């Protein structure tokens, strides 16, 4: 019997010939990523160990991205703890460089790896053919000290993509549509694998966007095959070479296969307060907004900024509406600068922020008040996620966000 990509990556990490869904295996991890959301807690636990040691510091990557720049004495203290520990222990450390998953994709992840991240959206690394999964800080600590962990091999839901997305329909619309279709726990404990002819029409940016959001369907990880587009991305980003390139075998077992024609996808939004609370954009047209956000690990890449800029060029942000544009990394920021995109946004009245998680996690930038409405390319729209518990977050694509920022209300991306 053949294996899925998820099974092959876990088999590799477990040093086993073959593994099957449902089995529990002890694995060696390739990377352990952690950010300023919880690293200070990990350090506190580490310091309580007797004779603590780091199994392999080369595997640790620590990234300050959630509160950058620091917004309070409390976060300053927890970030100082993280910075000092990283320096004292020779841990790879980034600060202000960008959102953790974007940095991992740009600089570290290679196909075939098994990676734990102390952040739920670690499943983004599937875009590079790697098995990324989110864990809490206790699991992280265990991996940091032992170099490994235990994992249950997930069943796989397979998505066979054909065709091409229409103009101004994005990968974000696709993955929101899929989450709406299978539900917020539709892939709980599962791997989501994306294959098919349609993949050749999806850029690396699209692929990261798709894999990144799979946790909102409960997925343990998301996976894609490595192709020329993946290899070109790795080459352009430091000339990285795959550890292993896996495809599911013809006789691998999938719990279910979905066929999706990309040309049938339309612009959608997720309404408050659940990511699977899906509606076509046209259905919520006219909802007044107070703020628009273009950024995050889901949609803060150069392709998203190009799309947003192409729509807002020559227009102005609506009166009394704040439009936050937050490149996902310094690389994206500088590229946008070179292409004149930041000029276009500023000309329109947008605020350009430094690369960070921003209002997506409702802490250091652009937090919204009671009764306010945000249209966002962020990852979540849970009650209170972006600020006050009585505020409202709609999730949509870069195109929908940019068009809505002009209109001052949610509108179709085809409006301008």
User: 391 or 412: whose CB is closer to another protein?
Assistant: 391
Select from 122, 92, 118, 83 the least CA-distant residue to 105. Answer: 122
Cβ-contact 248, 4 below 8 angstroms: yes
| Spatial distance between the Cα atoms of 110 and 235, rounded to a whole number of angstroms | 11
Name residues whose C-beta falls within 8 Å of residue 73's C-beta, 6 or more positions apart in sequence.
Answer: none
Cβ-contact 308, 325 below 8 angstroms: yes
User: 214 or 344: whose CB is closer to another protein?
Assistant: 214
- The pair of three-digit structure tokens given for residue 318, joined into one six-digit string: 């609506």
**By CB under 8 A, is residue 18 in contact with another protein?**
no
Strands 268-270 and 278-280: antiparallel
Strands 24-28 and 148-152: antiparallel
Residues 340-369 that bind another protein (CB under 8 A): 361-363
User: 176 or 318: whose CB is closer to another protein?
Assistant: 176
Helices (H), 362-397: none
Cβ-contact 203, 242 below 8 angstroms: no
**By CB under 8 A, is residue 54 in contact with another protein?**
no
Residue from 136, 238, 340, 371 touching another protein (CB under 8 A): that is 136
**By CB under 8 A, is residue 31 in contact with another protein?**
no
Residues 261-300 that bind another protein (CB under 8 A): 274
User: 119 or 173: whose CB is closer to another protein?
Assistant: 119
Please, what is the minimum distance in Å from the beta carbon of residue 166 to another protein?
31
Please, what is the minimum distance in Å from the beta carbon of residue 195 to another protein?
23
- The pair of three-digit structure tokens given for residue 135, joined into one six-digit string: 């864990």
If binding means CB under 8 A, how many residues of this protein chain bind another protein? 46
Residue from 9, 100, 137, 312 touching another protein (CB under 8 A): that is 137
Is 90 buried (19+), middle (13-18) or exposed (0-12) by CB count in 10 A? exposed
Site string for another protein, 219-258 (x = CB under 8 A): -x--------------------------------------
**By CB under 8 A, is residue 319 in contact with another protein?**
no
- The pair of three-digit structure tokens given for residue 258, joined into one six-digit string: 């979905």
- The pair of three-digit structure tokens given for residue 319, joined into one six-digit string: 């009166």
User: 121 or 158: whose CB is closer to another protein?
Assistant: 121
Please, what is the minimum distance in Å from the beta carbon of residue 363 to another protein?
5
- Residue 353's Cβ-side half-sphere holds a number of Cα atoms within 13 Å equal to 28
Phi, psi of 248 (to 5 degrees): -70, 140
Cβ neighbours, 10 Å, residue 213? 30
User: 138 or 263: whose CB is closer to another protein?
Assistant: 138
**By CB under 8 A, is residue 148 in contact with another protein?**
no
Stretch touching another protein by CB under 8 A, among 37-45, 226-234, 261-269, 341-349: 37-45
b/e burial code for range 296-332 (CB count within 10 A of at least 16 → b)? bbbbbbbbbbbbbbebbbebebbeebbbbbbbbbbbb
Please, what is the minimum distance in Å from the beta carbon of residue 29 to another protein?
14
Torsion of CA 206, 209, 210, 211, to 10 degrees: 120
**By CB under 8 A, is residue 13 in contact with another protein?**
no
Please, what is the minimum distance in Å from the beta carbon of residue 387 to another protein?
8
Q: How many whole angstroms from its chain centre is CA 22?
A: 26
Residues 62-91 that bind another protein (CB under 8 A): 72, 74-75, 78
Please, what is the minimum distance in Å from the beta carbon of residue 274 to another protein?
6
Residue from 57, 58, 181, 185 touching another protein (CB under 8 A): that is 185
User: 37 or 112: whose CB is closer to another protein?
Assistant: 37
What is the contact surface with another protein in residues (CB under 8 A)? 24, 37-38, 41, 45, 48-52, 72, 74-75, 78, 117-120, 134-139, 141-142, 145, 150, 184-185, 188-189, 215, 218, 220, 274, 361-363, 380, 382-385, 387, 389
């Amino acid at each position: 019997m053949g294996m899925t990509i998820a099974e092959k990556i876990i088999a590799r990490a477990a040093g086993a010939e073959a593994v099957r869904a449902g089995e529990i295996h002890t694995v060696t991890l390739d990377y352990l990523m952690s950010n300023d959301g919880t690293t200070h807690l990990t350090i506190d636990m580490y310091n309580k160990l007797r004779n603590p040691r780091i199994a392999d510091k080369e595997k640790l990557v620590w990234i300050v991205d959630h509160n950058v720049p620091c917004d309070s004495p409390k976060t300053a203290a927890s970030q100082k703890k993280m910075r000092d520990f990283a320096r004292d222990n020779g841990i790879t450390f980034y600060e202000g460089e960008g959102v953790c998953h974007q940095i991992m994709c740009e600089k570290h992840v290679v196909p075939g790896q098994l990676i734990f991240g102390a952040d739920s959206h670690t499943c983004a690394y599937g875009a590079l053919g790697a098995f990324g999964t989110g864990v809490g800080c206790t699991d992280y600590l265990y991996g940091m000290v032992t170099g490994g962990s235990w994992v249950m091999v997930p069943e796989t839901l397979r998505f066979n993509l054909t065709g091409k997305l229409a103009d101004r329909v994005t990968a974000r619309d696709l993955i929101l549509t899929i989450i709406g279709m299978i539900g917020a726990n539709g892939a709980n404990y599962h791997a989501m694998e994306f294959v098919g002819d349609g993949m050749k029409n999806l850029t690396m940016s699209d692929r990261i966007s798709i894999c990144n959001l799979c946790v909102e369907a409960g997925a343990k990880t998301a996976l894609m095959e490595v192709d020329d587009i993946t290899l070109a991305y790795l080459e352009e980003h430091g000339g990285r070479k795959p550890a292993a390139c896996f495809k599911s075998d013809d006789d691998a077992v999938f719990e279910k296969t979905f066929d999706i024609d990309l040309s049938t996808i339309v612009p959608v939004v997720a309404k408050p307060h659940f990511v699977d609370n899906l509606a076509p954009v046209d259905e919520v047209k006219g909802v007044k907004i107070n703020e628009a956000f273009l950024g995050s690990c889901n949609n803060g890449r150069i392709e998203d900024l190009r799309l947003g800029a192409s729509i807002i060029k020559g227009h102005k942000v609506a009166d009394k509406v704040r439009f936050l544009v937050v490149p996902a990394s310094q690389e994206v920021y500088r590229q946008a600068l070179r292409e004149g995109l930041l000029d276009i946004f500023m000309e329109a009245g947008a605020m350009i922020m430094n690369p960070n998680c921003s209002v997506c996690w409702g802490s250091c930038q652009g937090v919204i008040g009671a009764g306010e409405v945000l249209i966002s390319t962020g990852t979540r729209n849970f009650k209170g996620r972006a600020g006050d518990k009585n505020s409202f977050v709609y999730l949509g694509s870069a195109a929908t966000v940019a068009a809505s920022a002009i209109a001052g209300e949610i509108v179709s991306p085809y409006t301008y």
